[in-house]
Structure 1
C-alpha cells in the first residue's frame, strides 16, 4: 500500500516539501491536520462529543479524542479534510455547515514520536442523536458526549472525574449503550492550550431562537 505523504513546514510556517507520514512523526516536521468538534445545545445544556479511539490504533488507543480528525494529505486542501467526519462517524456534513476557528499549532513529543500539527480547527452544530453515528470500527470504537461545563471543570482541575454518556461497539460491531466516568488521563494528551482554545471558541458562539449556532 502506498504510504501517505504530507506537506511539511518549518517553524515559521513555510512550506518546505513533502514527506511520508512515518518520517513526519519521526523527525518532527510541522504538518496539517483537520479537527472537527461536534457540539449540541439541548435547552440550557451544551454538550461536547468525543470519539473513543480504537484499540487497534497505533497512537493513543482507547483514549477519548476529537469527534473527527485526521491528516491532510499532500494533494488535498484543508477543505478536503471533511472526509474524516464521514469516514470516522458516518455523519454527512457539508463544509459550509462548519464553523471555522482557524489554525491552531501544537505539539506532542514522546520517544520516537514527535507530533507537530497545524490543526485546521472547526466546530459543528450536531442536531442528531447517538443512533445517527455509524463508526469506522478500525478507527473509532465508540462515541461519548459530556456536558461542556463538566469538561471545563475537569480541564481546570476543579473536579477529578466527569460522567460521559454514549456507546461502544461490541465484538460484532453493534452499539452498546455505555456510561463512562473519565479522568484527565482518559483523554488524548493534547496541549492544555489546545483544549483551552477549543473551549474558548465554543464560548464565543451563541444559540438563537432557531437553534442555529452562530458567531457572536
Structure 2
C-alpha cells in the first residue's frame, strides 16, 4: 500500500507529478482522496453513517471516520473512488447515485505523518440496513448511524457528544454498538473539515 502511486500537487493545488503514498505522507505533498458519506431518511429523521477504523490500521486505528474513503491512485478518476465503498463496506453503489458536494482541502499532522488532502466529497442516500454491510475487517471494524441533526450540532459546538448505534466486530465476533461518541473518538480531522461536511450535507437535505 505504501508503494501505491498518487498524483501530487503544489501548495497552489497545481499538478506537479506523482509519488509513492509513503513519500506523499513523509514529505507532505498535496494529493487527492475520495470521501463518501452515507445518509438516509427514516421515520422523519435524517441519519449519517460513520465507520470504525480497524485496530490493524496504521493511521488512526480504532477511531470513527468517514463512511468510506481512500486515496485516488495515479491512474484513477474521481468516480473510480467508488471501489473504496465496495471494498470497505461490501455493498454495491452505482456511480450515478453519488452526489457531489464539492472539494475540501485540509491538512493534518502527526509525528512523521503529514496529510494534505484534496478531498472529493460525495454523499450517498443508502437504501441498506445496518445488517446489510459486509465489512472488510482488516480496514473497517464497525459501522454506526447517527441522527444527522445531532451530528450537525456537535460539529458546531452545541454538544460535546452524539449517540451512535450500529455494530462492531472484535476478534471475528459481531456485537451491537450503542454509545456516545466524542471528538476524541473521531479521526482528528480539523474541526473546520467536519463543519464543512455537515453544512454541505444540511444544504443538500434542505434542497431535497
- How would you bin the TM-score normalised by the shorter chain? over 0.9
Tell me the secondary structure at the aligned position of residue 205 of structure 1: helix
Alpha-carbon deviation of 1:2? 8.1
Alpha-carbon deviation of 1:152? 1.8
Q: Is the 8 A contact 2:161 2:183 kept in 1?
A: yes
Task: Give the distance between the partners of 1:6 and 1:110, measured in 2 at CA.
Answer: 20
Alpha-carbon deviation of 1:197? 1.4
* Aligned residue in 2 for 1:198: 197
1:1-216 aligned within 5 A: 3-172=3-172, 174-206=173-205, 215=207
Tell me the secondary structure at the aligned position of residue 51 of structure 1: strand
Alpha-carbon deviation of 1:114? 0.7
Alpha-carbon deviation of 1:91? 1.2
Tell me the secondary structure at the aligned position of residue 131 of structure 2: helix
Q: What is the aligned-residue RMSD (CA, Å)?
A: 1.5
Distance 1:31 1:177, change over 3 A: same
Task: Give the distance between the partners of 1:101 and 1:159, measured in 2 at CA.
Answer: 25
Distance 1:2 1:169, change over 3 A: closer
Alpha-carbon deviation of 1:183? 0.9
TM-score with structure 2 setting the length? 0.95
Task: Give the distance between the partners of 1:191 and 1:111, measured in 2 at CA.
Answer: 16
Alpha-carbon deviation of 1:7? 0.5
Tell me the secondary structure at the aligned position of residue 101 of structure 2: strand
Alpha-carbon deviation of 1:196? 1.3
Task: Give the distance between the partners of 2:32 and 2:68, measured in 1 at CA.
Answer: 15
Q: Is the 8 A contact 2:152 2:199 kept in 1?
A: no
Q: Is the 8 A contact 1:155 1:184 kept in 2?
A: no
Distance 1:2 1:205, change over 3 A: closer
Runs of 4+ displaced beyond 6 Å: none
Alpha-carbon deviation of 1:14? 1.1
Task: Give the distance between the partners of 1:159 and 1:6, measured in 2 at CA.
Answer: 38
Task: Give the distance between the partners of 1:117 and 1:145, measured in 2 at CA.
Answer: 25
Extract unaligned runs of 5+ from structure 2: none
